[in-house]
Amino acid sequence: MNKPAIPNSFRTGPDEQGMFGIFGGRFVAETLMPLILDLERHWNEVKDDPDFKAELTDLSTHYAGRPSKLYFAEGLTRHLREVSSAKGLGGGAKVYFKREDLNHTGSHKINNCLGQILLAKRMGKKRIIAETGAGQHGVASATVAARFGFPCVVYMGATDVARQSPNVFRMKLLGAEVRPVTAGHGTLKDAMNEALRDWVTNVEDTYYLIGTAAGPHPYPELVRDFQSVIGIEARAQILEQEGRLPDTIIAAVGGGSNAIGLFHPFLDDRSVKIIGIEAGGRGLDGIEHCASMNAGAPGVLHGNRTYLLQNADGQIMDGHSISAGLDYPGVGPEHSWLRDSGRVDYVPILDDEALEAFQLTTRVEGIIPALESAHAIAHAVKIVPAMDKDQIVIVNLSGRGDKDVHTVANMLGMEI
């Protein structure tokens, strides 16, 4: 494969067509095009508007609880130094957690939802639609819709509705209508198709609040920009706390929004190694994983070209992960471009490894991480013992793990 030329900056994309190299774009039905262009026009108006920024900052501060802390994970660091000594390495980098788990609704998803609900308000929209897999983005969308008084419809695969009943109930409490989608396998991919269909038929009044840095342009860009608050804060915080940049930063990649949010402000700091973690599930040999960048191929889904899990006929496959937030069969297009350009490494972590890191973090830090975030921690557990003591690693703790305790109990053969 031809590697794209190394650009002067990795932070300038996408181009006017919404392309990151050969990835991204807007592969949508003609009927959707006017909506996409209208969204793009409004986005271009607000993205540098000081009033819009001030309103978002105020909500982020007083409603969501930002800035999130950059926490020195002393317990995990000590543990990994012991592992390093036991192996005769005598090292072990300092590990920091970026605490997105402390945000209102328990993850980074609120950053994106607050930004997009303000955009919807600016556009004069009257109704919010969203897709959700495990229900985390559905809950965050229903939350901001409640806060701003919008009716909200959340499309959710029927299979997911059945297995995520607490989140379905939360959305209902928040006043949202949850519409089960029976098409396909009744999972996230199908819910997203249905949301796009709703959007086309309710052109005038509806805003589609997409949940990750994927979909047609300008969504990957605007979701990235709303989530970049993570990396902007982390970069300033580590400079203040350690007086220098980190050596390595790590985040889990589902659709890729928390990861691109952490990564983007560091992309031009060439000394910083950047690692995205994909769901390796039960291993990359079979089909029970969600490692689209390590075991997929480029194709078009949900309006953009990107790496996807697909069979030999180009049919999109349903992935598997212990973590519901990571089992999207694609990835945001900017990650595909960062992969091919070599700026970011994408590495799979298995279900078992994530489960192990989940338990370890809970015991040595007193923090129950989301299973998604546990994938990122699991990679730190692998690489930190071989690093030097004066090196620094930042792991994005994208969310808290309260939502995952049933899954974990199940995996450990226990009943709650």
Ligand X SMILES: *Cc1c(COP(=O)(O)O)cnc(C)c1O
Distance CA 350, CA 321 (A): 8
Give the amino acid at 178. V
Distance CA 273, CA 395 (A): 12
CB of 223 or CB of 387, closer to ligand X = 223
Give yes or no: 131 in active site: yes
In the complex, least distance from residue 325 CB atom to ligand X, rounded to whole angstroms: 3
Smallest CA-to-CA distance from 239 within 209, 272, 213, 217 is with 272
CB of 91 or CB of 133, closer to ligand X = 133
Give yes or no: 109 in active site: yes
In the complex, least distance from residue 205 CB atom to ligand X, rounded to whole angstroms: 27
In the complex, least distance from residue 91 CB atom to ligand X, rounded to whole angstroms: 29
CB of 76 or CB of 397, closer to ligand X = 397
Find where tokens 């071989």 sit: 386
DSSP string, 265-289: GGTT-TTSEEEEEEEEET-SSSS--
CB of 95 or CB of 387, closer to ligand X = 95
Q: Could you say which of 84, 94, 107, 109 is catalytic?
A: 109
Distance from the first to the final alpha carbon of the chain = 50
Other residues' Cβ atoms within 10 Å of the Cβ of residue 96: 28
CB-closest chain residue to ligand X: 399
Give the amino acid at 253. V
CB of 117 or CB of 259, closer to ligand X = 259
Give the residues lining the site for ligand X (CB under 6 A).
Answer: 107, 109, 136, 212, 252-259, 325-326, 370, 372-373, 398-399
Give yes or no: 278 in active site: no
In the complex, least distance from residue 17 CB atom to ligand X, rounded to whole angstroms: 23
130 contacts 146 by C-beta, under 8 angstroms: no
269 contacts 295 by C-beta, under 8 angstroms: no
In the complex, least distance from residue 1 CB atom to ligand X, rounded to whole angstroms: 24
Q: Could you say which of 40, 100, 131, 221 is catalytic?
A: 131
**Among all residues, which ones are annotated catalytic?**
109, 131, 398
